[in-house]
């Protein structure tokens, strides 16, 4: 059995590997894990709003089935008997998929998404659906059918988005494993701002079949978890080619055992860094710059070589991604935008509607620029280096009052620097590395070669071992209602 917590420790602090060892040794049951998680959700989530829906009855049935199988010697993999939750854009048969929108009220999934099916086939125990920005876009809106999730580290701050419930749930210890989507940073952002681990895998590594589309060529799907090891175990289960999603055909049938590389260290690896994107930008917190420098020093001390590289300008990546996003998101929602515009949340409408002005020639030029950027990133970085270390977010989590009535909020223009790798499709992981002076989490971003998530995990695990504070959790929230948006565009937290 691995070192660390035992069955006598709080169950929400057991890693996937630790829980798995106890389950297989008969020292813990999946039902006990599920009940502990459900009890914690019932106690803490009324103040956090991380869950849109908790599927308690189904969870306990699946946990009991996992216990029977493990006792009989049937082992379905690293998540067998382990709880998880899905962002509420993933279909699970018989459960509503609302995308936090009035436009999906009453939508009941008639089949599992591929991600849900693979988790179910792997013996994992689904606890329910997690809060999202409407259709995985929009913002922390107060005009939707469900209240926005709150950041467990401070009720005055948002958990970022759009996988907001995932970030809040993992940080608060409601569940260790969640699966979200990332179109321009929607998994990495909440991970960064909530002090968790968020992976955007290579484009096509994880199937999007049965998931609400936002931007077909930018959408990625991956785990948001408490530790690197948890994310590696989750990706092992959900990754792989899927005939139902043509985006996955380049992924191949073979999925590595990502957990096998976690203890290999970084000696001999070549690491690139790109301070030109962020270090001189006054919008970047000094603690983040210092934290990244410290992480690079750790890697060098562990035997990796570290060199600075000059990347194409960030603004080119950003502009390319924004054009593609605008056009594809508008196309996804065009029928509802024309027929039922008032049923969208205000932020969602304001973010998606500008795509109506993107012409076909604009989109084709953006696709050409994307191909050039992908080629330049490979030539500049991945033909010579194993990973790239760069900034993930430039500031700690925004306050509720930073979001006015209309989008965009002026203070958040360049908060996240995640969109470049959504544009190019390279795997990118947000890793927590400490806390800023305001007590909120900070982190960095590790980017790898296409379909080389294993090396990203390897580097992340080495840094987590040296810099991680996985023992530190946010204070448990006092019960209270969600923040309420006032007419003067300020926000108050009860």
Catalytic residue IDs:
87, 162, 186
Question: Which of 455, 453, 17 shows the shortest CA–CA distance to 239?
Answer: 453
Q: Are strands 428-435 and 441-448 parallel, antiparallel or unpaired?
A: antiparallel
Cβ atoms of 215 and 328 closer than 8 Å? yes
Q: Are strands 220-225 and 197-200 parallel, antiparallel or unpaired?
A: antiparallel
d(CA 334, CA 336): 6
151-183 residues labelled b (16+ CB within 10 A) or e (exposed): bbbbbbbbbbbbbbbbbbbbbbbbbbbbbbbbb
d(CA 167, CA 438): 19
What Cα–Cα distance (Å) separates residue 273 from each residue in 86, 279, 287, 290, 346?
33, 11, 17, 13, 39
What Cα–Cα distance (Å) separates residue 406 from each residue in 138, 164, 243, 409?
11, 20, 41, 7
What Cα–Cα distance (Å) separates residue 186 from each residue in 120, 396, 416, 465, 466?
24, 15, 10, 25, 26
Cβ atoms of 145 and 96 closer than 8 Å? no
DSSP code for 103: G
d(CA 233, CA 223): 9
């Amino acid at each position: 059995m691995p070192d660390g917590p035992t069955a006598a420790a709080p169950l929400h602090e057991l890693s996937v590997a630790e829980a798995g060892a106890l389950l297989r040794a008969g020292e813990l049951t999946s039902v006990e894990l599920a009940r502990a998680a459900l009890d914690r959700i019932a106690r803490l989530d009324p103040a956090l709003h991380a869950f849109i829906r908790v599927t308690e009855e189904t969870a306990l049935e699946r946990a009991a089935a996992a216990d029977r199988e493990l006792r009989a010697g049937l082992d379905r993999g690293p998540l067998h008997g382990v709880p998880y939750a899905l962002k509420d854009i993933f279909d699970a048969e018989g459960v509503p998929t609302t995308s936090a929108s009035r436009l999906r009220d009453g939508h009941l999934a008639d089949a599992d998404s591929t991600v849900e099916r693979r988790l179910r086939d792997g013996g994992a125990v689904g606890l329910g659906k997690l809060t999202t920005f409407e259709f995985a876009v929009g913002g922390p809106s107060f005009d939707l059918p469900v209240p926005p999730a709150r950041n467990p580290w401070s009720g005055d701050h948002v958990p970022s988005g759009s996988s907001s419930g995932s970030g809040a749930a993992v940080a608060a210890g409601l569940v260790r494993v969640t699966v979200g989507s990332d179109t321009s940073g929607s998994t990495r952002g909440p991970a960064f701002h909530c002090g968790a681990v968020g992976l955007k895998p290579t484009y096509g590594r994880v199937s999007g079949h049965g998931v609400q589309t936002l931007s077909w060529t930018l959408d990625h799907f991956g785990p948001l978890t408490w530790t690197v090891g948890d994310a590696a175990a989750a990706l092992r289960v959900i990754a792989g080619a899927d005939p139902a999603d043509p985006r996955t055909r380049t992924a191949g049938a073979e999925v590595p055992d990502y957990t096998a590389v976690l203890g290999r260290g970084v000696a001999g690896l070549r690491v690139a860094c790109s301070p030109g994107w962020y270090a001189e930008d006054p919008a970047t917190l000094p603690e983040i710059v210092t934290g990244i420098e410290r992480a690079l020093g750790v890697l060098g001390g562990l035997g990796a070589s570290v060199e600075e590289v000059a990347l194409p300008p960030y603004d080119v990546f950003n502009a390319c991604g924004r054009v593609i996003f605008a056009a594809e998101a508008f196309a996804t929602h065009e029928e509802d935008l024309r027929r039922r515009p008032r049923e969208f949340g205000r932020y969602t409408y304001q973010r998606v509607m500008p795509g109506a002005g993107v012409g076909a020639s604009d989109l084709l030029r953006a696709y050409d620029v994307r191909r050039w950027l992908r080629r330049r990133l490979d030539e500049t970085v991945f033909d010579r280096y194993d990973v790239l270390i760069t900034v993930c977010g430039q500031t700690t989590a925004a306050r509720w009052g930073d979001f006015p009535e209309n989008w965009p909020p002026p203070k958040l223009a360049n908060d996240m620097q995640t969109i470049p790798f959504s544009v190019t499709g390279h795997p990118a992981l947000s890793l927590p590395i400490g806390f800023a002076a305001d007590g909120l989490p900070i982190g960095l971003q590790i980017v790898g070669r296409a379909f080389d998530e294993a090396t990203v995990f390897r580097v992340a695990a080495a840094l987590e071992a040296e810099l991680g504070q996985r023992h530190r959790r946010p204070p448990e929230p006092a019960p209270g209602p969600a923040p309420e948006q006032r007419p003067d565009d300020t926000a108050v937290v009860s």
